[in-house]
Chain A
Amino acid sequence: EDQVTQSPEALRLQEGESSSLNCSYTVSGLRGLFWYRQDPGKGPEFLFTLYSAGEEKEKERLKATLTKKESFLHITAPKPEDSATYLCAVGILTGGGNKLTFGTGTQLKVEL
């Protein structure tokens, strides 16, 4: 059974305190590992897609990495505006499309 597990469930950081979020997965036929950001009352906002082990992508203070069994989202010197829920998902081929199986998310709070 395809499964995505995120840890920790919640994380509280001081501004400037770097950390990493973990996403471990078991899936047959992986078609991409996705990271999204979700703010309260809003839909998920796309951040990154990773396809193969060893791949890395960066955007501002965020860097995503991928191994064969897990992905990390590294947050460097976070700011309060980085506070959000970060969702990890695996893509699975369906009828020519790519349906996403999500983890339960990591709720990040960055304080001054």
Chain B
Amino acid sequence: GAGVSQSPRYKVAKRGQDVALRCDPISGHVSLFWYQQALGQGPEFLTYFQNEAQLDKSGLPSDRFFAERPEGSVSTLKIQRTQQEDSAVYLCASSLQASSDTQYFGPGTRLTVL
């Protein structure tokens, strides 16, 4: 079956531009996570949704980062006024139930801020 998909796969933005990154989780998966992965590092947690409710946003680095999942399926991560330090791969993961531990990751969106 289809896995987690993300778009775009690559995004180049000029400093100060706003960007929107999309995640399509596996159909029927209740939980959705966003992670940020810098070059040569492991992924770092950003935020977590259970259906449409955002239950943990403790990892969002600043108020320029905003995530939503209005209908409990597709999610969008928005970054306003991008800065060079925002350059990273943004990964989305989903799991079947809130209590399910196995997270399945998408291919990621590589964001480069010039």
Contacts and interface: CB of A to CB of B under 8 A. Distances in A.
A110 B93 CA distance: 28
Interface string B46-75: 001010000110110000000000000000
Interface stretch (A11-19, A56-64, A71-79, A98-106): A98-106
Given A96-B98, A99-B33, A43 B105 contact: yes
A103 B101 contact: no
Interface in A36-95: 36, 41-46, 49, 87, 89, 91, 94-95
B87 interface: no
A31 interface: yes
Contact of B43 (A49, A96, A102): A102
Contacts of B50: 95-97
- What bracket does the count of chain B residues touching chain A fall in? 20 to 34
Nearest to B104: A46
A44 B105 contact: yes
A95 B48 contact: yes
29 contacts: A31-B101, A32-B101, A34-B101, A36-B105, A42-B107, A43-B4, A43-B93, A43-B105, A44-B91, A46-B104, A46-B105, A49-B102, A89-B42, A94-B58, A95-B55, A96-B55, A96-B98, A97-B33, A97-B50, A97-B55, A97-B98, A98-B31, A98-B101, A98-B103, A99-B33, A99-B45, A100-B45, A102-B43, A105-B41
B44 interface: yes
Interface of A: 4, 31-32, 34, 36, 41-46, 49, 87, 89, 91, 94-105
Nearest to A51: B101
Interface of B: 4, 31, 33, 35, 40-45, 48, 50, 55-56, 58-59, 91, 93, 95, 98-108
Contacts of B102: 46, 49
A46 B98 CA distance: 17
Nearest to B40: A104
Contact of B41 (A94, A99, A101, A104): A104
Contact of A97 (B31, B41, B43, B107): B31
Contacts of B98: 96-97
